[in-house]
Amino acid sequence: MAVKTYLKVAAIVGAVAVLPLAACGSDDQKGSIGDTVARAAGGDLSANGGARRLDGDQSGALRETIADNNARNIILLIGDGMGDSEITVARNYEKGAGGAFDGLDAFPLTGQYTTYALKKDSKPNYVTDSAASATGWSTGTKTYNGALGIDIKDDEHATILELAKKQGFATGDITTSEIQDATPASEFSHITERDCYGPEEMATDCQDETLEKGGPGSVTEQLLAARPDITMGGGAETFAQTATGGDFKGKTLEVQAKERGFQIVRTADELADVSTADQDAPVLGLFADGNMPVRWAGPPAVRQGYLQDAATCTDNPDRGTEVPKLADMTAKSIELLSGNQAGKDKGFFLQVEGASIDKRDHAADPCGQIGETVDFDEAVQKALEFARKDGNTLVIATADHGHSSQIVEEYTEEDLQGLAEDSGQPIERVRDVMYPGLTRKLTTADDTDMIVSYGTSADVDVEDEGHTGTQVRVAAFGPRAGNVVGLTDQTDLFFTMTDALGIDRGGE
């Protein structure tokens, strides 16, 4: 049984930081870099102390988690659009108010980082997109929305994956989105428009960056040239496009991939059968034409959805057994990268993205986003499981930006009618004022109702909720994990990770 202890104040990386209270995990999980934690409430939530998540003093346990030695491996996990609100919505639904995720809530050290992008005139753009934010942690450089791997002057900057590969590390980049999408693409592409997936998009949106004009080519062509040991996700349809320049002109991108020696796998069974992934035979997993199907389905938020009966989430029938789960992709990637020669000799860098937390948030689909957060947590558990055993792996879990879902108070029709009478306003007006966005009521693990609201697009005809400019959580376990504590910026993460691996940034 876990021994629960307090965590109060710690001096880390030259600053005093108030850290989250947490509880130590069991002794059999203890590794050379301390332990992960257990944070579920200990008893009856209505009793005195029943909702507390710890007791005792955790100072000693915290000291054991702080190591300033280099890491051999880094596993960076990105929950796209996974702000604090999205985590809380998912936790309440799946675990209950006093519950805790076994992955996301198990990190001993947490902080917050800022996510703003820049405009071309170098002034802040307070709400980032996924491309600018991912460029921040992959290169250490702020840029403008839509851009990948370049700064506001359109100059290229090397990514951590490119530097790690060049300096002998095994590398991997996996996602549940199209592999050409902004977050995975930030590790291997340098382009002014994130949507230039293939030669067809290049012809209209990125004409000056095509291979025939001496540019780097489309996102997919840059992927094939960058050649990570492992790349997995969706995005198969782009590989049917034909190259219009370069050494493979006139050939489809799929033919090019095969001629370059990539192992292409399309199902969970085919992935399970893969035994090697290295520069001689890199793995290219293409598990969907577009984005991979999400885990859960349910009714979307709508106008006055709070008035409808509470819903529960169900398995998405489109997912099927042939599509690998993110946790399985993560475990397989760790197995292959740690087992190939580069991984044995030097170590590995792996980026893992749970992409559709964001995509279902855009669609005001609470069940979709919750299921993807649960899915992502299982991938985090796989990373932490490896790190606890290995003792030399830095695991970081964070998000690229915040999003639009919020938990809001429930008002009864009697409450609203009373407000209408007091204000002299029609009940319809009062409803719009109290619930200005799209809403959906869900039944949570506590067997009670929770209203999820989406307020960045209140028009049902505009089916795209927007990002928010909030800072987001960053959590870490392993060597150099203390560097995420307190307030940092997304660009700090690039330097934390390259320092942890001992990467020479002068090799850009």
Give the residue numbers marked as catalytic: 130
Task: Enumerate the β-bridge partners of residue 233.
Answer: 286
The β-bridge relationship of strands 15-18 and 9-12 is antiparallel
CB 109 within 8 A of CB 481: yes
Secondary structure element (H or E) that encloses residue 87, with its range: helix 84-94
442 class by beta-carbon count within 10 Å (0-12 exposed, 13-18 middle, 19+ buried):
buried
Residue with tokens 């209270």: 21
CB-based contacts of 240, cutoff 8 Å, min separation 6: 252, 253, 254
Cα gap 381→101, rounded to integer Å: 9
Cα gap 37→19, rounded to integer Å: 13
Cα gap 332→17, rounded to integer Å: 36
Angle ∠(230,231,233) on CA atoms, nearest 5 = 140
CA atoms within 13 A on the CB side of 147: 22
Q: Which residues of 13-35 are buried (b: 16+ CB within 10 A; e: fewer)?
A: eeeebebbbbbbbeeebebebbb
Residue with tokens 């997109």: 129
